[in-house]
Amino acid sequence: MTIRDQEEERIQSEIASIEKWWASEKQARLKRPYSARDVAVMRNSIELNHQVSSQQAVKLWNLFEEKIAKKEPLLTYGAVDPILLSQLSKSGLEIGYVSGAVCGLSNVAEPSMDTADYPWDTVPNTVQKLVNSQLWHDRRQNHLRSLMTPEQRAATPKVDYLVPLIADGDMGFGSTTGIMKFTKKFVEAGVAMFHLDDLAIGMKRFTIGEGRTVVPTCEYLKRLTAARFQLDLMGAETLLMGRADSMHAEYISSVIDPRDHGYVQGVTNPDCEPLIEAMVKAQRNGEDYKTARKLWMEKACLLTFDEAVEKVATKEEYQEYLTLFKDSKFKSINQRRQHASQVVAKQVFFDWDAARSTDGQYFLKHTLDHVIDRAIASLPITDTTWARMDSPKWDEIVRFHEVLRKIDSKRAYGFGYTGRYDYKAAGFSDEQLKNLQFDLAEMGIVFQTQPIYACQGLNMVSLEFGKMFKKEGIYGYNRDIVVPCKENETDGFETAWCGAKLSDTQMFMADSLDVTLPY
């Protein structure tokens, strides 16, 4: 046999094992735009075992299946610190969430708001730290329990420190190969699932009346495919979640994908100057950015192309125009223009370039339909789906999941009780809020996270403690912390939780069993 043949034989055996893997129940739900051979030829010559990530992913997958069947929620909150995570696990929550926003405020050398401008490996490194702490607590607990009698063991509840971690992958931080490296890092760190969204890098705005910017649909899909391909190269079961952020996005970075054209807005007032010119003028005159932009928008009369057609067409002409979409809703701007010029007598003025921002983005009319389109397009290469919202609109939540579940009823969906949602303003009664977690679970939305608990809950507790401590010193500490901690057997320093027994036992093993001693 020649060397060449042996190599081909190895590739064939890889292909066979990949195909067998892809036929498994979990993997068979996916559809890849590449073949097993494409993966096989780029794999290593030795098998790489990323067991922690794969095992945690399968555990999470089984939890999803169980909760979907029982219509029960899997609640969690953002814990980016090992100490907090240990208590999250002890409290009985079955999964952990690693929030990008919280990492960006607390796990970086240079903190900032949730602009995802932190180093690309910040969240994977946090996962690594958390998983190591989980494994350590698990080991420490196993050792401690091995010292107990069966009666003691039965009377002492075992904590599942190895709750699967779901991490925020933001927009993936870069190019296709960059996303592959990012994915690799997540897998090596031991994550169970991570989500990638459709946001543009570095373009989130929070206070100036501009919101989020999404990338074109094709770029979002490329991101997800790059991550999927990396998971396949590694043979990892790690779950990939698609997160569509277009629900409240104001901009789109490019109009390269015709699937987005129906949602892009342009100037429909021919007498309106381009936005950039108006903003430069306003800036030179020292006008307020937000006000100047608002005035320009009023003048521009921003509409989608279809709305612009409707504005100038007669009812009959518009009905005729809509026949363009009878075979598909995804028509390019050129197809739309051409058809309009044939069926509408008046000229349609629509200029999406005049509406481009100073960063070059295009105005987007965010609608639920756009989110639905993207979520549907990403189904074949993702395991789970999350439609992120700036505010919790119940009818939109229901419609999104009704449409998606008609296509994939087995899938686990996600929901973020994002930021400081104002449930009252969103129309939720107390009773509805009480049942929200179950009502969501009823629709297959089993992964439910409050990502930024650490910014609200922990801040609140720490602030109150600091004020008390400043006033009452160690007397107050003893009263409020030491005494109740003792009564409640709260985990803390010099309790079993800190692993003193494990440390000493390990040291004893290493120090005292020296078989090289001559006596």
As annotated, the binding site for Mg(2+) includes: 168
246 contributes a contact to ligand MIC by CB under 6 A: no
Q: What are phi and psi of 350, to 5 degrees?
A: -150, 115
In this complex, which beta carbon is closest to ligand MIC, that of residue 407 or of residue 460? Answer: 460
Identified binder of ligand MIC from the candidate list 124, 444, 451, 499, rule CB under 6 A: 451
Residue from 215, 324, 375, 452 touching ligand MIC (CB under 6 A): that is: 452
The answer to the question of residue 249 lying near ligand MIC (CB under 6 A) is no
* Residue positions counted in the chain: 519
Q: Could you say whether residue 114 binds ligand MIC (CB under 6 A)? A: yes
164 part of the interface to ligand MIC, by CB under 6 A: no
SS3 266: strand
Burial class (CB in 10 A: 0-12, 13-18, 19+), 415: buried
- Residues in the annotated binding site: 168
Could you say whether residue 81 binds ligand MIC (CB under 6 A)? no
101 in contact with ligand MIC (CB under 6 A): yes
Query: Residue from 14, 81, 168, 219 that binds ligand MIC (CB under 6 A)?
Result: 168
Contact track, ligand MIC, 394-433, x by CB under 6 A: ----------------------x-xx--------------
Question: Residues with Cβ < 8 Å from 65, sequence gap 6 or more?
Answer: none
78 in contact with ligand MIC (CB under 6 A)? yes
Q: Give the sheet arrangement for strand 193-197, strand by strand.
A: 74-77, 445-450, 412-416, 384-387, 239-244, 193-197, 165-168, 96-98
Query: 60: which DSSP letter?
Result: H
Q: Which residues ranging from 318 to 337 are in contact with ligand MIC (CB under 6 A)?
A: none
Q: CA 31 from chain center: how many Å?
A: 21
User: What's the Cα-to-Cα distance from 204 to each of 113, 153, 254, rounded to whole Å?
Assistant: 10, 51, 16
> DSSP 3-state helix, strand, coil percentages of the chain (rounded to 5)?
55, 10, 35
Residue 384, interface with ligand MIC (CB under 6 A)? no
Provide the token pair at 308.
């612009």
Tally Cβ neighbours within 10 Å of residue 111.
Answer: 11
Structure tokens at 135: 């494994």
Per-residue x/- marks for ligand MIC, 5-44, CB under 6 A?
----------------------------------------
Smallest separation, CB 391 to ligand MIC (Å)? 11
The window from 94-102, 157-165, 286-294, 330-338 that contacts ligand MIC (CB under 6 A) reads 94-102
- For ligand MIC, the closer of residues 172 and 416 by Cβ is 416
Question: Which residue ranges make up the site for ligand MIC (CB under 6 A)?
Answer: 78, 99-101, 114, 168, 388, 416, 418-419, 451-452
